[in-house]
Amino acid sequence: MSDNSTNHLRTTNIHPLFWSDAEAAPFENCINCKMNLPESNTPYLIEKAVRGFDGEKVTATIFEYAVCVNCAQEMNLKLSKGSRERIESFFKERVNFQQRFNQLRDQDDEEWLRRCLVHHEEVNEEGECQLYALCQGDQMLYQEFPYMIRTEALDEMMDLLSAETLRQLDDFKDDLIDGPSEFKELLKKGGPKVLL
Ligand SMILES: [Zn+2]
């Protein structure tokens, strides 16, 4: 990096870890509005739930999707105000994104992802976690993203959500998935647990 400004946004081609495993290629469409993501200027999030992850490769993918920031925002607004505030303060108390960026800015992807954003621990072979990246076009953006959150931390976050919010997330997931029923079942069981 030649630019030393603190918030310099680093970008690289999207790491294959954040490609669609189902397609063995980068994600093409927003799961909700179906917008073509690589051709659009709209940033988008990629979320994957995986089992066994060492910072480089996963043992198995449980679910995966890409969502444009507009639809992600729409999902976020479905959370109750109380739930949103509790999740926000959870991150404020537990994660120093600025410090993290300063530490990781020149590191490779493995270092960004190997340890849990919240618990700073690795995932064991049997462990599950979710991987998150923010992309635009064919580029991955590095600032707060990318990160990994272990299931243990996601469970803590789930406990912060109101019953109303959990029900709305379930409804939204049901609306979202018009694909193969197998995928629908996975989503119902597995997540997305928390939409960030
Ligand atoms: Zn969308």
CA of 39 to the centre of ligand 1 (A): 13
Say whether pLDDT at 195 is over 70.
Answer: no
Say whether pLDDT at 19 is over 90.
Answer: yes
CA of 45 to the centre of ligand 1 (A): 10
CA of 31 to the centre of ligand 1 (A): 7
pLDDT at 159: 87
Q: Which residues surround ligand 1, an ion (CB under 5 A)?
A: 30, 32-33, 68, 71
Reported residue count of the chain is: 196
Stretch 4-29: mean pLDDT:
84
Q: Model confidence at 170, in pLDDT bands (50, 70, 90)?
A: confident
Say whether pLDDT at 5 is over 60.
Answer: no
pLDDT at 75: 81
Nearest CA among 29, 75, 67, 35 for reference residue 48: 67
pLDDT at 107: 92
Contact present, 45 and 133 (Cβ < 8 Å): yes
Return the sign of the alpha-carbon dihedral for residues 22, 9, 98, 93.
negative
Nearest CA among 166, 147, 189 for reference residue 47: 147
Average pLDDT of the chain, as a whole number: 84
| Angstrom distance (rounded) from CA 60 to CA 32 | 24
- Where does residue 179 fall: left (phi above 0), alpha (psi -120 to 50 degrees), or beta otherwise? beta
Stretch 121-138: mean pLDDT:
93
What would the pLDDT profile of 79-103 be if each residue is shown by its tens digit? 888 988 998 899 999 999 999 999 9
What would the pLDDT profile of 105-123 be if each residue is shown by its tens digit? 999 999 999 999 999 999 9
CA of 122 to the centre of ligand 1 (A): 32
| Angstrom distance (rounded) from CA 170 to CA 166 | 6
CA of 5 to the centre of ligand 1 (A): 32
CA of 139 to the centre of ligand 1 (A): 17
Say whether pLDDT at 176 is over 50.
Answer: yes
